[in-house]
Structure 1
């Protein structure tokens, strides 16, 4: 353990020496003074130019953070508007594709129904023709059977 380090203005013990913890992210002036004591073993007064430089740096960092927040907000707004516009465009395209797909599916279904109706008409005509031919052949068969029976009766008699 090292010797205690005193503040030159107040005479208070700032640091007792020893281990060196890492510097904090946002540092107050008192923390900056304590850091200098820890790192270099030097105590400085509150009106030291180094502390003034720390104050200016902290102010600049605060201003920079405010500027970054404004930029982040502007970028979020821009990306949000762009994202909404893209989402709307995609929805419109999907709706259009959906409408086109539904229309194409309906057109295909109607075309299929029409082709099936035409096939049914052809089959109906074919069945009528087959019925007519079948009826004629049946009539011819009956006439042939009748003639054969008549010839058989004339021979047998």
Structure 2
């Protein structure tokens, strides 16, 4: 939302009031006419009202800036926490996967050693059979 400049309104003066009253009603006012006191009081109230509005506007802007920063910090903190949880979860999952892989490799190694021992026994048996065949043949 863009700030649009507010149009300047001319201040109400006693001379303007005199001029309007002469134009509309044909009544000239003297300098000590009580109606002009009302104009002066209205101008004072208007000035005080404008001043109060400016103070409130400044307070609202300050509040909005502070609130925006506070909530932006909270969002950043929440995002960081979620990211940390996701990273920690991923690390935990990787550690579990590596542990499972290590267990699988241990089982695979045992199986390979067993097959190697079986192959060695089979090879020794084959050599013994071949040697006994050669011995019996001669």
Q: TM-score, normalised by structure 2?
A: 0.62
In the TM superposition, 1:134-153 aligns within 5 A as 134-136=119-121
Aligned to 2:5: none
Decide which structure has the larger Cα Rg and report it: 1
Determine whether 1:45 maps to 2:29.
Answer: yes
For structure 2, the residue ranges without an aligned partner over 5 or more in a row are 1-7
Residues 37 and 124 of structure 1: CA distance in aligned 2, closer, same or farther (over 3 Å): farther
In terms of fraction of residues, the more helix-rich structure is 2
In the TM superposition, 1:1-157 aligns within 5 A as 25-29=9-13, 30-36=15-21, 40=24, 42=26, 44-45=28-29, 47=31, 48-136=33-121
How many pairs does the alignment contain? Answer: 129
CA shift for structure 1 position 60: 0.6
SS at 2:115 equivalent: helix
**Higher relative contact order structure (alpha carbons within 8 Å, sequence separation ≥ 6):** 2
CA shift for structure 1 position 64: 0.7
For structure 1, the residue ranges without an aligned partner over 5 or more in a row are 1-23
Give per-residue Cα distances to partners, 1:81-113, cap 9 Å, x unaligned. 333333333333333333332222222222222
Residues 84 and 135 of structure 1: CA distance in aligned 2, closer, same or farther (over 3 Å): same
Residues 44 and 140 of structure 1: CA distance in aligned 2, closer, same or farther (over 3 Å): farther
CA shift for structure 1 position 41: 5.4
CA shift for structure 1 position 45: 3.2
